[in-house]
Amino acid sequence: MIATTTTDAIAQVNALATHTALTVWNGASDFLIVLILFATFFLFAWYIGRATLVSVLLAFYAAYAIYVVFPYANYLPTAPALTALLAHIGLYLGLSLVFYIILRRVVVSDFLYVGIVGTIVLSLLGATFLIALAYHVFPVAEVYRFTPAIDLLFAAKQYFFWWFAAPAIGLFFLAR
């Protein structure tokens, strides 16, 4: 389309810029969630301690085991969707906190060493672990619709095992 006046040209540039900005923002918004989770884990490990990050990642596994067999899940609210999601996430985070406290006191040694690269990798794997749980365990789909780019990475059921196992594999190779 050829602009006939300066006003038409400005309107076309504005429309193109707006469309491009919205397309980039929509594509980046879900990755922003992963980056925020990653930054949270990394800063947590940086300021509190890397052994603490290991405790958190192990607590996620222990909490998932109890969450899956939790006999009172039918008492959690089912409507509205946001309330149901927050109830399930609250239960999981509560279980994670209990297991974190136990693991921090008992299992994880202060002699554990995880380098900076290992901390970055484990933080990223922890973030992707939570996103995979959001896709396959928690009722997030009723509240929030992820972009197709994130769907491609996390929605497939055959990938869930790998996202679920990734932090454990990372701990096996990166923690000394």
Between residues 22 and 85, the one the model is more confident about: 85
pLDDT at 54: 87
For the segment 92-108, the average pLDDT, to the nearest whole number, is: 86
Q: Where are the alpha helices (DSSP H) in the chain?
A: 6-48, 50-68, 81-106, 116-136, 148-154, 157-174
User: Which tens digit of pLDDT belongs to each residue from 18-60?
Assistant: 655 556 566 666 678 888 999 999 999 888 888 888 889 999 9
Inter-residue contact 174 to 122 (CB < 8 Å)? yes
Between residues 8 and 156, the one the model is more confident about: 156
Distances (CA, A) of 20 to 16, 17, 25, 27, 140: 6, 5, 8, 11, 28
| Lowest mean per-residue pLDDT among 18-22, 64-68, 70-74, 111-115 | 18-22
Token pair 């052994």 is found at 51
For the segment 165-174, the average pLDDT, to the nearest whole number, is: 90
User: Which tens digit of pLDDT belongs to each residue from 104-154?
Assistant: 877 666 667 788 898 999 999 999 999 999 888 887 888 888 878 788 888
| Integer Cα distance of 62 and 96 in angstroms | 7
What is the crossing angle of helices 81-106 and 50-68, to 10°? 130
pLDDT at 26: 61
pLDDT at 48: 84
